[in-house]
Amino acid sequence: MISPKPTSKLKLKFKLKLPPIKAPPLSAGYRQWRRQFLLERIPWACGLGMGLQLVFLAIALLIELPLAERSEEGAAALTLAHYWLPVWEAGLGIAMLTLIWLLAQCPKFRRAPQRLILLFPFALLIVPELPDLLFLTPRSFHLNLLAIIVFVYQAILLPVYWRQHLIAQVIALSTLPLSFVWIFATQWQEIQAKAQTEAGLISSNFASLFSILSLQLLMAAIALLIVWLQERFFVREYELRDRLQLFLHAISHDLRPPAMGTIMLLQQIRDQQGEAEITGAMLEQMLASGDRQLRLIDSLTAAHRTEAQLQLQLESVSLHGLISSLLQEMRPLLEESQATVQLLISRDVPAVQADPLQLRRVYENLLSNALQYNAAGLRLELDAELREGQLYCTVCDDGRGMTQEQCEQLFDRYSRALNARHPLHLGLGLYICRQIIEAHGGTIDVASESGIGTTFKFILALEDV
């Protein structure tokens, strides 16, 4: 029921806190899909990597070594160790890829499979080519080709987590410069001796290193761009799915209260003994409820066409009249919950420049949530105070309250319910409230203390502002 306005007005101090500016978090649906995608792709990537190692082994045994034997210098130098080295390198690569596959089966890595992306450069390049990297054998083109293959391989097979790809590229790109540093540090005297007999040896080595690194950097940048673009495509796809889900939930969330009010009113008429009598006030209330449902459908449809951006129809709104009409419509719900509402907003409060339908949604969501998450007998106070050309509005209750952590997450899109009796509630109403208030150029905040109650505070601009 609605109690008369008391003589003493509730005074509240406001301490509005602006939300931090940060990138919106990835949706839970996308994060779950990305994790499952990696868990399915990593075994395929390991299998293809083993196939590549066997291809490199065949090239070394059937092409590279026979060509070396035909050369005059190579024929005398080749031994059994030269034939065994490619087999050893391929075996190391296959062993590393097998280790990655086994780690992908462990629960720890299944929770965060993106860490396995960092191991592929070791499996395909660093571990198999470790002897060549340490002693810098004359296979620089071979090492350069392997690094490029690693970039393309990961970009095609594992096109998510671009940051992990960047780290993996840095690992692969650092192998050749580190090899040169190792050689110069361990064989500096021999290099100096050769440099005295062979002019330009050191400068030619650095020129070769620069050309190889330039090509690797180019291919790494292209591969990283491919991964980033593909990941943005997947993120965008899930954002569109979330918007569609938001639209559907907004319809069900906003149409439920007026429909429930009408149903409860009709139930009261049905329960009357004898002939049911519909007064003019009841008929007006049902007509107003049906009209508002139609306007909500039109508003939500328009918002969906414009990618969920609110289209405000601003006009002069009397806050006292709007809330009085809303409380009259919600009377059956308030009586069922045995709730008491004190309307502290004076009729003399200046009109605000707002969209009456959207502003009504804010108050309706706040009141509905208060009734939903608190026990019967709740006391509600609705107030508004003029400050510096703006209207500071509050909705207070003396319910169960919330923790600070719950308050910080309350306006998120899919914040979970605070009451275990409603585990399927998605917390969409307060997210919509924030969108509406911010579309009006204001801010909304909440202050609560467990066991004492909750106060929602938001700002509205006056008609002449």
Residue 213: per-residue pLDDT: 80
Could you tell me the pTM of the whole model?
0.51
DSSP H helices, 279-391, are 280-305, 319-329, 331-336, 356-372
Residue 322: per-residue pLDDT: 93
Please give the residue that has the higher pLDDT: either 225 or 10. Answer: 225
State mean pLDDT over 325-353. Answer: 88
Q: Count CA within 13 A, CB hemisphere, residue 450.
A: 6
Residue 68: per-residue pLDDT: 64
Going by C-beta distance under 8 Å and a sequence separation of 6 or more, which residues neighbour residue 303?
247, 250, 309, 310, 311
Tell me the per-residue pLDDT of 415-439, one tens digit each, with 9 for 90 and over.
544 443 433 333 567 877 888 898 8
Please give the residue that has the higher pLDDT: either 405 or 111. Answer: 111
In the three-class reduction of DSSP (H, G, I as helix; E, B as strand; rest coil), residue 465 is classed as coil
Residue 16: per-residue pLDDT: 38
Question: Which of 121, 124, 102 is closest to 55 using CA atoms?
Answer: 124
Distances (CA, A) of 382 to 6, 140, 324: 12, 76, 11
State mean pLDDT over 100-110. Answer: 92
Tell me the per-residue pLDDT of 55-81, one tens digit each, with 9 for 90 and over.
888 887 887 777 666 665 545 556 666
Question: Which residue do the tokens 């129809």 mark?
Answer: 313
pLDDT at 251 over 70: no
pLDDT at 407 over 90: no
What share of the chain in percent tops pLDDT 70?
Answer: 70
Tell me the per-residue pLDDT of 230-250, one tens digit each, with 9 for 90 and over.
888 888 888 777 777 766 666
Tell me the per-residue pLDDT of 440-459, one tens digit each, with 9 for 90 and over.
888 999 999 888 899 999 99
Report long-range pairs for 418-427 (Cβ below 8 Å, ≥24 apart): 418/373, 419/372, 419/373, 422/372, 422/373, 425/372, 426/249
State mean pLDDT over 307-312. Answer: 62
Tell me the per-residue pLDDT of 23-35, one tens digit each, with 9 for 90 and over.
456 777 788 888 9
C-beta of residue 222 within 8 angstroms of C-beta of residue 249: no
Task: Tell me the pLDDT band of 130, cut-offs 50, 70 and 90.
Answer: confident
